[in-house]
Homo-oligomer: A and B are copies of this chain.
Amino acid sequence: MLVDQLNTAFNPRCIAIAGAMGHPFAMGYRYVSHLLNYGYQGRVYPITRNSAEVLGIKTYSSLKEIPESVDYVICCLPASQALDLIEQAYYKGVKVVHFFTGRFSETGQEDAARVEMEVLQRARELGIRLIGPNCMGIHYPKSGISFAYDMPGEPGRVSMFLQSGGAATQFSHYAALRGVRFSKVISYGNALDLNESDFLDYFSQDPETEVIAAYMEGIRDGTRFFRSLREATLRKPVIILKAGRSSAGARSAASHTAALSGSFGTWNTAMRQTGAIQAQSLDDMIDLVVSFDCLPPILGTRVGVLGGGGGNSVLAADEWEEAGFEVAPLPQEIEGEVRKLLPELWWGWLRNPIDMSIFPEEAFVTNLGGTIFRMMAQSSNFDLLVTNIMVGGPMSGEELVALVGNEVEDVLDIARKENTPVAVVLDTGALGTENFDDVRWKCLAQAKTKLLAARIPVYASGPQAANSIMRLIKYYRRREDILSTSTDAPLAGSR
């Protein structure tokens, strides 16, 4: 039932936009424009009394007048007209109404909260499901439905439900730069009817979803949510960012989505029992989503690092060990092979992380780093390999282009041919437009694009990579433990 209703919302034969407008600053304009721009193939019915067309599409003066039954309604009307819309929706056979409309309970006003409850009650009586109110609704590239400009149009494997529309767009734009593509994104605001548990259950069984992420300010039904979460995490990774943790945050959450944030201590305890992965910030959530989207299940913690210089090797050793990894010793046979090429390297000097600054400059020309990295990938001593691609060092921009070109080709080739998972640490930098023509920064930007195209995860720093991949390992270890002691049939892996 829930599945059918949400499937209809994601794949409607036609969509009505109540409160459509001709002015580009109005959401009633933007929703129509997004359907056109993202290539929605069904019929679009803007509803307004103010103009005969919006963006060239004929309008209707009310929902009732649309000459066919309507699957899905996006409502941008004022809150005072919400109840009437529900009545009309019933006569048009509407399955789901998304209320962009806000100024309900989040205002803190009793009158507004009462109207909200009336809308819910009437929708329940009439069998209409609600998304929102006070939210952006659905982004589903496969159907050509979206709530914002310039979101990635290609479908992906990640689905998300977020209580905030701003967080939804902010996350999506920055995650897209990291190579993340979305199956379905739902911004759900006040969670009046359909709530976090509904979306979680839906994504948990959705064949188009491999990784689930969520941004939550409160919970409507804690008992159900944590039960759903325990089940979902055995199927797919679920990454959750909880906002409204602090007292100031809880006050903001109340006036944003009328959410009751609850005690963060209680939340943490409940979360730990579910196997969900907690994100610390929007950036942290992006790192986690990138990790689960690009990496296979990893169960071991032995990491091999191509360091990118002396100091960076020391820092990398600290960062990976502090995150819980074993910076595994370099196998003797690899050190032996390197000494055949460079007999002047004393035994014991070369270590993991590989400090390429102890090699003579010619080693960059002969690509000794790539040779070593390939041997490490072929060794059984490492569960994960990491390359640090640096912008600094003694090289000129042109030399860097050659070096990074080699490094990227090696990573791509090794990832294609060998089984050891590979991650890359590469910071493209806080660029100003004046840096766009700089050969050095351009080189890193191009390297990032190439790596992402091959679905190699790229992180801006060692700690970000190490901390998110460690949580990936813990997730898969826990799941393996539970599934191996369970009598149920094994569930599909996330990849």
* A interface residues (Cβ-Cβ under 8 A, vs B): 24-27, 30, 102, 106-109, 136, 147-150, 162-174, 177-178, 215, 217, 243-249, 251-253, 255-257, 280-283, 307-322, 327, 346, 348-353, 355, 357-358, 361-362, 364-365, 390-397, 399, 427-436, 438, 440, 442, 445-446, 448-449, 452, 458, 460-463
In the complex, what distance in Å separates the CA atom of A197 from the CA atom of B172?
A: 48
* A174 to chain B: closest residue by CB: B429
- Assuming the contacts A25-B365, A243-B311, A251-B317, asked whether A281 and B463 have C-beta atoms less than 8 A apart, the reply is yes
Q: Tell me how far the C-beta of A434 lies from the nearest C-beta in chain B, rounded to whole angstroms.
A: 6
Give the distance in Å from the alpha carbon of A119 to the alpha carbon of B422 in the complex: 43
Chain B proximity of A248: nearest CB distance (Å): 4
Q: A314-B164, A446-B432 are in contact. Are A362 and B247 (CB under 8 A)?
A: no
Contact B177 A429 (CB under 8 A): yes
Q: A150-B438, A309-B164, A390-B170 are in contact. Are A314 and B355 (CB under 8 A)?
A: no
Number of copies: 2
Is B148 in contact with A393, judged by CB distance below 8 angstroms?
A: yes
Q: Besides A163-B311, A170-B311, A428-B432, 16 other CB < 8 A contacts?
A: A107-B349, A149-B394, A164-B310, A166-B308, A168-B311, A169-B393, A170-B393, A173-B392, A174-B391, A243-B318, A246-B318, A248-B320, A252-B355, A281-B461, A283-B463, A433-B445
Select from chain B the residue with minimum beta-carbon distance to A169.
B392
Q: Flag if B256 contacts A310 (CB, 8 Å).
A: yes
Which one of A108, A243, A353, A357 has the highest number of Cβ atoms from chain B below 10 Å of its Cβ?
Answer: A243
How far, in angstroms, from A281 to B364 measured CA to CA in the complex? 27
Q: How far is the CA of A353 from the CA of B255 in the complex (A)?
A: 11
Bound state CA distance, A430 and B320, in angstroms?
22
Residues on B with beta carbons closer than 8 Å to the beta carbon of A458: 430
Q: Cβ of A307: which chain B residues have Cβ within 8 Å of it?
A: 252
Shortest beta-carbon distance from A75 to chain B in Å = 15
A25 interface neighbour in B316, B351, B362, B390, Cβ under 8 Å: B362
Q: How far in angstroms is the closest Cβ of chain B from A402?
A: 10
Residues of B within 8 A of A256 (CB): 310-311, 313-314, 355, 357
Q: Smallest distance from the beta carbon of A455 to chain B beta carbons, Å?
A: 15
B428 touches A430 (CB 8 A): yes
For the complex, give the distance between the alpha carbons of A107 and B346 in Å: 7
Q: Are A165's CB and B310's CB within 8 A?
A: yes
B314 near A253 with CB under 8 A, answer yes
Cβ–Cβ contact B217 & A166, under 8 A: no
Shortest distance from the beta carbon of A218 to any chain B beta carbon, whole Å:
10
Q: Give chain B nearest CB distance to A186 CB in angstroms.
A: 14
Check B167 against A311 for contact (C-beta < 8 Å): yes
Task: Please name the residue on chain B nearest to A429 by beta carbon.
Answer: B177
Known: A27-B394, A394-B169. A346 touches B108 (CB 8 A): yes
Task: Please give, as numbers and ranges, the residues of chain B lying within 8 Å of A445 by CB-CB distance.
Answer: 431-433, 435-436
A248 to B304, alpha carbons, bound, how many Å? 12
Question: Interface centre among A136, A149, A314, A448, by most B CB within 10 Å?
Answer: A314
- What are 10 inter-chain pairs, A to B, with CB distance below 8 A? A25-B399, A109-B346, A147-B394, A149-B395, A166-B312, A169-B394, A170-B390, A170-B393, A246-B321, A247-B321
| B-chain residues with CB within 8 Å of residue A252 when the two chains form the complex | 307, 313-314, 316-317, 351, 353, 355
Query: From residue A251, how far is it (CB to closest CB) to chain B in Å?
Result: 6
CB distance from A470 to the nearest CB of B (A): 14
Chain B nearest CB from A458 CB (Å) reads 7
Q: Which of A106, A282, A431 has the largest count of B CB atoms less than 10 A from its CB?
A: A431
Most buried by B among A177, A178, A358, A427: A177
Query: A170: which of B281, B392, B434, B460 is its contact (CB, 8 Å)?
Result: B392
Question: In the complex, A314 Cα to B327 Cα: how many Å?
Answer: 38
A7 smallest CB distance to B (angstroms): 26
Chain B residues with CB under 8 Å of A361's CB are: 25-27
Q: State how many angstroms separate the Cβ of A318 from the closest Cβ of chain B.
A: 4
Q: Is the CB of A446 within 8 A of B429?
A: no
Instruction: Decide: B394 and A30 in contact? CB cutoff 8 A.
Output: yes
Assuming the contacts A394-B27, A432-B449, asked whether A312 and B167 have C-beta atoms less than 8 A apart, the reply is: yes
Q: Is the CB of B169 within 8 A of A430?
A: no
A239: min CB distance to chain B, Å = 15
